[in-house]
Amino acid sequence: MKTTQIKYEKPDNLVSSFEGSVKKHPRNPFIGEKDKDGHYQWITYRDLSKRVDHLRSALAQLGVESQHRVGVIANNRKEWVQIALATYGLGASFVPMYESELEKLWKYIVENSEIKVLFVSNLEIYEAVAPFLVTISTLDQIFIIEDDGDDSLIELEKKGQDKPLAPIHPKAEDIANVVYTSGTTGDPKGVLLSHGNITSNSRAGWRVYPFLNQKSMSISILPWAHSYGATAELFCFMQFGGRIGIMGSVKTLAQDIETLKPHIIMGVPRVFSKIYEGLNRKIKQKNFMIKHLFNMGINSWEKKHKNKLKSKSNLISATKHKIVSKVIYSKIRKKLGGNVQACLTASASINPEVIKFFMALGLPLYEAYGLTECSPAITMNYPGNFRIGSVGKALEYVEIKIDKSVIEDESKDGEILARGPNVMQGYLKKPEQTKEVITDDGWVRTGDRGFLDEDGFLFITGRIKEQYKLMNGKYVFPAALEKDICHNHYISHAFVYGSGMEYNVALIVPDFESLTPFAEKKNISTDPEDLIKQKGIKSLILHEIKKDLEGEYGHYEIPRKVLLSAEPFSIENGILTQTMKPKRRVILDRYEEQLKELYKTGTK
């Protein structure tokens, strides 16, 4: 546990934060969801507050008290917020889980966190977890959100209507959420985030995006079960009375953005990369003049930006960009609702070219960095203070230092350490692992490798624990290689392998949509299973990797052979975590033998 004393600004708990917005903006729409006809229906702050009051009373009647935990297995929805706030108002802790998670992980979390009352979104999930009532002694009851029977949320609410109960206002250090980490290398750990952790982090994010206010709209793409979505969007917008419209699905995202007209779009890099790739494909189909103007605008913005960094003016570039922005880019902005003032991405690295693209379009895209143990934000780029390629500067009251002692070479980087009011209270029931991560003076060891430039911008260079040595004794940081390999438009996912080997090889999942035109020109089948067997495709991928990495990495680091797979890395097949990070252990379990086979045919 931390030994340093942290002072928190008021409101320092989520109950007071919500109450403040209910008082100031009672009629403001808060959460919007699509109905069966595809129209958004909204609940106001005042109406949600009433439902929170009813549920809080009902939970108290079930015996929920401050030492207990209440869980939910549900996607983003108004009831998610209702259950969380009702739980906080009893001084209890909230444990969110993903609908798309494996059943065995639900069981692990419910048992490990000793959840007393569990809410699930639908009957299908209820049937899967109902046996927990027998096998997990601490679980008392399960209620269904999308139901009206005796075990439904709506019936439970009714029991609280006639017995009002004033909320508890938790202390800043009281636990609000137990958020289970993705578990890329082992069992997930329950991260204990306090009310002060979350409110301070949400407030710090708001202060660097001051244009956000009670009239602002966000489109909910990120899951609130993860701290990025909960802190950066849900609790951030809640503090100032903003509106959050939940996307219908990935397929309807473009339409939902146009309908909701958000002022900010938050997502993982894949969201913005897909938009980037889709727009580029459309532009390639346009006539020469449109393509020329579009690319001229991108190049002009980049020249303008570089000159600005050097305190130089470039009237020609600025004028060119302004013209293209008005004639072409304005139409793209309109398709995205016309109100977007910023886009925020985190959770994984993003190709700098994608950031430049969005910046040029007048849809500023800023990269941030954090981890669940820090509630999660540590650094952010933001309007007027950004550096492409970096993950930004430390948020207010957050300190960063680089520990070079863990690096054996003479590099300028080291392990990133962070300290501040956002640092977790520890891991649930794991005191030894907590001590490994949090130092006696309150610094969190992130496990990430990076450096700070002269202006305080943080750059991520890899993961400490994932580094390995080749046979020649040279260190390799696979995460950095994988990041840069995936910047290529022909590649969706990459996994670099080579610990103790003579050289590196890579598992590659191609971007089959991007490969289609190439395959058609060569009269090759566009079926993914057929494509990965083609020597020409393998040669193309190797050529692209070499082209992109040469000059940036040592010759010994660049993969010499590739294994192509038609199976994407996904949450559904267990290869990606809920935050889209690859589970290295799972990949090795599935592909290590095939990767080893690549070494048996000699060096390329």
The CATH code of the domain that includes 477 is 3.30.300.30
Q: Which residues contact 394 (CB under 8 A, 6 or more apart)?
A: 378, 379, 400, 418, 420, 456, 458
Please state which of the ranges 4-13, 214-223, 591-600 shows the lowest mean pLDDT. Answer: 4-13
Q: What mean pLDDT do residues 60-70 have?
A: 98
- Does residue 92 share a domain with residue 235? yes
- Asked whether residue 473 falls in the same domain as residue 451, the answer is no
Question: Is the pLDDT reported for residue 443 higher than 80?
Answer: yes
So what's the pLDDT on residue 556? 92
Identity of the residue numbered 507: L
Q: pLDDT band for position 3 (50/70/90)?
A: very low
Composition of the chain by helix, strand, coil, percent to 5:
40, 20, 40
Q: Across residues 226-239, what is the average pLDDT?
A: 97
Does the structure show a pLDDT above 70 at 602?
Answer: no
List the strands of the sheet with 458-463, edge to edge. Answer: 399-403, 414-419, 444-452, 458-463
Do 275 and 211 share a structural domain? no
Stretch 214-219: mean pLDDT: 98
**Residue 521 structure tokens:** 């020109």
Say yes or no to pLDDT of 603 above 90: no
Whether residue 184 is predicted with pLDDT greater than 80 in this model: the reply is no
To the question of pTM greater than 0.85 for the whole model, the response is yes
Q: What pLDDT, in 10s, does the model give residues 559-590?
A: 999 999 999 999 889 898 877 788 888 999 99
Please check whether residues 234 and 291 belong to one and the same domain: no
Residue 112 belongs to some domain of the structure: yes
Q: Show the CA angle centred on residue 453, arms to residues 448 and 455, nearest 5°.
A: 130
* CATH number of the domain residue 39 falls in: 3.40.50.12780
User: Do 387 and 517 reside in the same domain of the chain?
Assistant: no
Residue 8 domain flag? no
Question: For residue 489, is it within any domain?
Answer: yes
Q: Based on the domain organization, do 231 and 323 belong to the same domain?
A: no
Residues 124-152 have pLDDT tens digits of: 999 999 999 999 999 999 999 999 999 99
Could you tell me if residue 2 is inside a domain? no
- What percentage of the chain has pLDDT greater than the value 70? 97
> Given this model, what pLDDT does residue 463 score?
84
The answer to whether position 54 is within a domain reads yes
pLDDT at 7 (0 to 100): 81
Q: What is the pLDDT of residue 183?
A: 57
Say yes or no: 402 and 493 in one domain.
Answer: no
Mean pLDDT over residues 356-363, rounded? 98
Domain boundary among 463, 483, 507: 463
Q: In terms of Cα–Cα distance, which of 458, 375, 407 is closest to 176? A: 375
192 shares a domain with 46? yes
Mean pLDDT on 367-388 = 97
Same domain, 230 and 287: no
| Integer angstrom CA distances of residue 137 from 94, 116, 131 | 18, 9, 11
pLDDT level of residue 538 (50, 70, 90 thresholds): very high
* 1 belongs to a structural domain: no
Residue 87 lies inside a defined structural domain of this protein: yes
Do 430 and 493 share a structural domain?
Answer: no
Domain end point (choices 409, 433, 463): 463
One domain, residues 365 and 427: yes
Q: How many domains does the chain have?
A: 3
* Average pLDDT of span 471-477: 84
Give me the chain's average pLDDT, please. Answer: 94
Pick from 82, 40, 341, 47: which is nearest to 216 by CA?
341
Helix residue spans in 180-314 (DSSP H): 195-207, 227, 236-240, 253-260, 269-284, 288-309
Per residue in 523-534, pLDDT (tens digit) is: 989 999 999 999
SS3 state at 122: coil
Last residue within a domain, chosen from 422, 445, 463:
463
Show the domain range for 512.
Answer: 469-601
**Distances in whole angstroms, Cα of residue 309 to Cα of each of 306, 384, 385, 388, 500:** 5, 12, 11, 11, 43
Distant-in-sequence, close-in-space partners of 195: CB < 8 Å, separation ≥ 6: 12, 13, 14, 15, 88, 170, 171, 172, 173, 174, 175, 176
Are 245 and 350 members of one domain?
no
Lowest mean pLDDT among 9-23, 141-155, 156-170, 516-530: 516-530
Q: Does 3 reside within a domain?
A: no
